[in-house]
Structure 1
Amino acid sequence: MLLINGGRPGVLASWDVDKPAVSTAELLARAGHTVYLMDARGFGRSDFTPEMDDGAEDGPVAVKSHEVVRDITAVVSDIRERHPNDLRLAAMGWATGSQWLGHYASLYPETISHLIYYQGAYGGDPGGWTFQSIASRQDPSKLDREDYPAFRCSTAAQVIGRLAEEVDDQIFLDRYVELAMEGDERATEHEPACFRFPSGPLADTLKLVNGRPLFDAGSITSHVLILRSQNDFWSRPQDVIALAAHLERASSIRSVELPDASHYVHLLVDKRQDFIEAVLLFTQVDPEAQN
């Protein structure tokens, strides 16, 4: 199983927060998956792009979907070389990570057997996106570059954000921040400390939610699980409907809505059980094995 980061922290903060309890990535590994974790370029421990250098804020938006597709291509190739006799490869990203994987799977459909599209935007009727205010006044599908430069820098308070409303365990929050910060060697040069992350995911998602598709899901041939929390603030109900309708060649399609769950459900120790079981059932791993 390949896990990919979301649109702000790297993959370790996204999937492998290991304090005070076992991380989600570890639970999936204990259940029988060989788990690989990938940082897209510009995130976590991956190299930062030239657009993220000091003084480049007003340049091209850093890290667009087609660039991450190249990264996924390289990682999947490496995984395949390590497991030449294993025909199954599941892949899941967090929100933007699933959008990148969907883009990749539409171009290289034979390489992924099980795609988990988790909290991802896709298309459908325009509007209804929580963060639409980041768009240009002239074009709702384009990023407002005056307020959103090529990359941004997130403090601890900013990266915790809404997560702090759901978690009162300071050990967990401190570890989440530590993992989010540790990929940027210049994080502590700022006061307060902050880590750089690309604006590309916001620019790409604005297109998706305003009628400008990034990829055609009709090319995807894997088994697909569309997994969304009822109270997610990134994906929309119409994304699920549109994606399911476009998956004309998928080996199978399953849509699961996690009731009363949030954008962060996979990170919440006391609430992630339904998420874990949905993923393991879809990938044909026994949920009881995690115990």
Structure 2
Amino acid sequence: MPRLTLALILPLMLSGPAPSRAQETLQRQELYTENIAGMRLHLRQVRGAAGEGRAILLLHGARVAGVGSFDLPVAGGSFAADLAQRGFDVYLLDVRGYGDSARPVQLEQAPSAHAPLVRSNEAVQDIGAAVEFIRQRRKGQRVALFGWATGGQWAGHYASLHPDRLSALIVLNSLYRGSTPHALIGKGSRMEHPAQPGRFNPGACGAYRLNEAASLARPWDDAIPEADKSVRRDPQVAQAYAQAALASDPGSGARAPASFRSPCGAFEDSFYLATGRQQWDASLITAPTLIVAGERDFWSRPEDVQNLAADLVHAGKVQVLRIPDASHFIHLERPQFGRAQLLDAIDAFVR
């Protein structure tokens, strides 16, 4: 078991626009524990002032860390705050190599010098340390686990290994298993090795990748069908998302243009999932599971959703929610484009 310690609790200090009046009643703390390798892990807790609610751990995706993904300091930008307002005790985890968690030493070296960093087995170790840390604070209670995109893949993997520690599993816009062509990351994409079909191309990413703010905007812009992107996406949320992503890497400002590092292990894992390889078995999951996918999502495929639901033979309760007209970034867009429906579904499912 990982050694669990509470290294530091700090009051939240946010830059940028002031939070809304509703969010002012929330409490935020910066918490730290260690994974099994002795690396420091960062969690942010967001909770209401009334006391303990339903515990839920939110897992980020392949590039942007926990705070940037779920707790932006602008109106409509904090999925964590919205959950806390509904009575959840919310935790955000930075997996190793992301945000304020410890970074592998290879992240300080050239991307070409090493294989892709932070594969799913290491991410699952970090999730395990975070879950046990939360359970220790809450007298052994079970924890709900929510994962977005790659975070959902990690969450499902963890749930297959430790189902007894979870009250619920929620997977949003995630891969699982399927042979349907995946243009972004599957066979024939730049992620496939040009000389070895079916194998991941390490040259496409390296140990880690450098991400500029524009690289975050492009896929989000492409996911919005309207010419005026502000119809679905508040410009302040988009700006705060990019700022938080850059701020998550202390060295981002030293590069021109500014960029943040993200480990590439998530992309190798996703490549194999997208090409039909199964990394974990959902039949081992016993926690009630909610599978959510946006109709316009570019990451998960209908086949991933169908196969995951079919394999959840021991989950007790399985619910599949396909949100019409919703994109990959449901939780960061305006309420009427799926965000409100997603919050309602989680609130009703996690009891």
Say which of 219, 222, 233 aligns to 1:162. 219
Counterpart contact for 1:51–1:61, Cα < 8 Å: no
- Corresponding residue for 2:72? 17
Counterpart contact for 2:115–2:202, Cα < 8 Å: no
Counterpart contact for 1:122–1:243, Cα < 8 Å: yes
Calculate the aligned-residue CA RMSD, in Å: 1.6
Say which of 175, 185, 188 aligns to 2:253. 188
1:201 Cα shift? 1.0
Counterpart contact for 2:185–2:270, Cα < 8 Å: no
TM superposition score normalised by structure 1: 0.92
The CA distance in 1 between the partners of 2:140 and 2:213, in whole Å, is 43
1:263 Cα shift? 0.2
Say which of 145, 148, 166 aligns to 1:94. 148
- Corresponding residue for 1:147? 204
Counterpart contact for 1:141–1:206, Cα < 8 Å: no
1:162 Cα shift? 2.6
Q: Percent identity?
A: 35
- Corresponding residue for 1:246? 311
Counterpart contact for 1:217–1:247, Cα < 8 Å: yes
Say which of 156, 161, 177 aligns to 2:242. 177
Which shows bigger deviation, 163-172 or 113-122? 163-172
Say which of 273, 281, 288 aligns to 2:348. 281
Give per-residue Cα distances to partners, 1:185-208, cap 9 Å, x unaligned. Answer: 110111110000011111001111
The CA distance in 2 between the partners of 1:34 and 1:160, in whole Å, is 30
Structure 2 counterpart SS, 1:91: strand
Letter aligned with residue 116 of structure 1: I
1:164 Cα shift? 4.0
Q: Using a 3 Å threshold, how does the CA distance of structure 1 residues 140 and 265 change in structure 2: closer, same or farther? A: farther
Q: Using a 3 Å threshold, how does the CA distance of structure 1 residues 129 and 246 change in structure 2: closer, same or farther? A: farther
Which shows bigger deviation, 209-218 or 156-165? 156-165
The CA distance in 2 between the partners of 1:94 and 1:51, in whole Å, is 26
> Which structure has the larger Rg?
2
Give per-residue Cα distances to partners, 1:210-244, cap 9 Å, x unaligned. Answer: 12111111111100001100110111110011111
Structure 2 counterpart SS, 1:35: strand
- Corresponding residue for 2:302? 237
> Would you say how many aligned residue pairs link Structure 1 and Structure 2?
283
Give per-residue Cα distances to partners, 1:146-180, cap 9 Å, x unaligned. Answer: 23211100011112223245443432222111111
Say which of 63, 78, 87 aligns to 2:133. 78
- Corresponding residue for 1:51? 106
Structure 1 counterpart SS, 2:202: coil
Question: Does residue 293 of structure 2 align to residue 228 of structure 1?
Answer: yes
Structure number having the greater strand percentage: 2
Structure 2 counterpart SS, 1:28: helix
Question: Does residue 118 of structure 2 align to residue 63 of structure 1?
Answer: yes
Question: Does residue 263 of structure 2 align to residue 198 of structure 1?
Answer: yes
Counterpart contact for 1:121–1:239, Cα < 8 Å: yes
1:12 Cα shift? 1.0
Counterpart contact for 1:98–1:118, Cα < 8 Å: yes
TM superposition score normalised by structure 2: 0.77
1:131 Cα shift? 2.7
- Corresponding residue for 1:268? 333
Counterpart contact for 1:51–1:60, Cα < 8 Å: no
- Corresponding residue for 1:289? none
The CA distance in 2 between the partners of 1:85 and 1:66, in whole Å, is 24
Counterpart contact for 1:129–1:209, Cα < 8 Å: no
Structure 2 counterpart SS, 1:260: coil
The CA distance in 2 between the partners of 1:157 and 1:235, in whole Å, is 23
Which shows bigger deviation, 45-54 or 224-233? 45-54
- Corresponding residue for 1:34? 89
Structure 1 counterpart SS, 2:152: helix
- Corresponding residue for 2:33? none
Letter aligned with residue 54 of structure 1: Q
Question: Does residue 188 of structure 2 align to residue 121 of structure 1?
Answer: no
